[in-house]
Amino acid sequence: MLLTIFTPTYNRAHLLPSLFSSLQKQGIKNFEWLIVDDGSEDDTVGTVAKFQKETNFPINYIYQENQGKHVAINTGVKNASTELFLTVDSDDEIMENAIEKTLVLLPSFLENQNIAAICFPIYSDNTKKTITNKEIEFNQAVLNSIELKNNYGITGEFTYLFKTKILKQYPFPYFAGEKFVKESVVYKRIDRIYKNMYVNQSIVKAEYLEGGLSSNFRNLMEKNPKGSALAYLEIVNDKRLSFEERKEAFSHYWYFENISKQHSLLQRLFHVKNKDIIFDFILKKLK
């Protein structure tokens, strides 16, 4: 078995059949489907049991107490025994011939120890285009996310096909009482060490509503301020970014630290590696 297709889920029993159907339609089935149920209260267990009776590929189901998607991902990675790990959310579908598209890219991907993941732009089923700010014109390029933005002006949403051994080295942090940490925390840590192989074809499609998450997402972050503060601290301490980007991130970091009250003033300042950002912040406060 080469690939683990991983799905974290919470009360999504009504959506899982569409994803299951898309997996069944794959011409090559050298994968397992690993589902981590993050404490669902619907009939997810019964739905998955039905899948297991109908399928011709392995389906592994793990139930855990509701702790948040990031903890579900940790559980999935810990229990994955395959060489490759692909996360597909419960409200998404894998596209036709996705496995075939992936196999073509594997030789150069697996032999290069400096590449952590293949990144496929996510296709929006309702807009009929990828969830990127512009069309990706190259076939493939090996670079990190900063280089993707600086060299090609591309940002957006991607599906990451990771080498499992690398992902196992970067578990999500856990904060007691909080159930959300941005996935970018782990992705950015990996991105500072490894390159990615970015390609211009999609293997996952999702229903994307532009602007629909902004207010709800802010509320989610405020309910989980320790994880949110960490996410912005990662940006503040990323030397690859411009001073202006890091300054903006610092204001968000400080905001969520004020909500969480997890660190003293001195501890907060100590965690910031570029002290010029702190001086700039203090000067603005004194004006």
| C-alpha to C-alpha distance for 148 and 261, rounded to whole angstroms | 36
The predicted pLDDT at position 287 comes to 54
List beta partners, residue 119.
160, 198
Instruction: Compute the average pLDDT of residues 89-112.
Output: 95
pLDDT at residue 156, as a whole number: 94
Alpha carbon dihedral 240, 246, 250, 251, in 10-degree steps, equals -160
3-state secondary structure of 191: helix
Domains of the chain: 3-206 (3.90.550.10), 214-286 (no CATH)
Judge contact between 214 and 232, C-beta under 8 A.
Answer: no
What's the alpha-carbon Rg for the chain, to the nearest Å? 20
Q: What count of other Cβ atoms lies within 10 Å of the Cβ of residue 11?
A: 16
Higher local confidence (pLDDT), 265 or 203:
203
The per-residue pLDDT for range 36-67, each reduced to its tens digit, is 999 999 999 999 999 999 998 999 999 999 99
Rounded to the nearest integer, the mean pLDDT of the chain is 93
In the chain, what is the straight-line distance between the N-terminal and C-terminal CA atoms, in Å? 62
- Predicted TM-score (pTM) of this structure: 0.93
**DSSP 8-state code for residue 192:** T
- pLDDT tens per residue, range 140-199: 999 999 999 999 999 999 999 999 999 999 999 999 999 999 999 999 999 999 999 999
Where do we find the tokens 């080295």?
A: 169
Instruction: Return d(Cα 198, Cα 159) in angstroms, integer.
Output: 10
